[in-house]
Amino acid sequence: MRSEPVLLVIAHGSRDPRHAATVHALVERVRSLRPGLRVETGFLDFNVPSASGVLESLVAQGVRDVVALPLLLTRAFHAKADIPAVLREAPARLRIRQADVLGPSPLLLSALERRLYEAGLTPADKASTGVVLASAGSSDPEAIAGISSVARQWWRTGWGAVRPAFASAALPRTEDAVRELRALGCERVAVAPYVLAPGFLPDRIAHGAAGADVLAGVLGAAPEVARVLLHRYDAARRPAVAALGA
């Protein structure tokens, strides 16, 4: 029986040690949901092992089939350029399929709500609460449009208002969106970081949330996020999906 492809989760990496620790915790949750699936982690920068190093190690171990999954919420530069470049340089004997990024997904909206409820809100608060969907930001118009679309979708689930905000490269900033929701007359304002792990930009989001009533935690190792990873893996390993390096 043919074995399943190895799942290689490719994270950006950060000088902040909380980033790698959160990535590893998420990968461990993925393993717990799919016992028997081999899941490896590689980083583009700052942390080890590197994604390219993991690919070299896998081929040396006789692995031939890999699904490379970008640990990203939007299709921006890293998903469109950096990760494909790494995969093109991988050993030719590897059959590599690049999975889609994690967002958008209804499961991620569920994870965002989980974090808000853990921070003190309840489902009964939804209609009277304005939420800032605070992302890291990007100079890629597709990524910015994607965040705005997620905010609209989330608002339709019953929140009083949802506004996107960005920690870098785009506007508005978190603090500006908080002020906008206050001006709208929302009974309370909450900030939901649409980021996967702690680091410099999530800290900037937290700083901008000083005027809010509630600040949720990052998505991190939420079970819903782990399930999205497995959904993307399953979609990528189907035979109909074209392979890189095949």
Say what the pLDDT of residue 240 is. Answer: 42
**pLDDT digits over 209-244, tens only?**
999 999 999 999 999 999 999 999 999 998 643 444
CA distances (Å), 188 to each of 157, 165, 182, 183, 212, in order? 17, 17, 8, 11, 8
Say what the pLDDT of residue 244 is. Answer: 40
**pLDDT digits over 50-109, tens only?**
999 999 999 999 999 999 999 999 998 889 999 999 999 999 999 999 999 999 999 999
Q: Check residue 40 and report its DSSP letter.
A: E
Tokens 């889609």 label which residue? 100
- The tally of CA atoms less than 13 A away on the side-chain side of residue 202 is 19
Alpha helices in 10-69 (DSSP H): 17-33, 51-60
CA distances (Å), 42 to each of 122, 159, 216, in order? 37, 37, 27
| pTM for this entry | 0.94
d(CA 204, CA 65) in angstroms, rounded, equals 39
Say what the pLDDT of residue 242 is. Answer: 40
Q: Taking the mean position of all CA atoms in its chain, how far away is CA 209?
A: 20
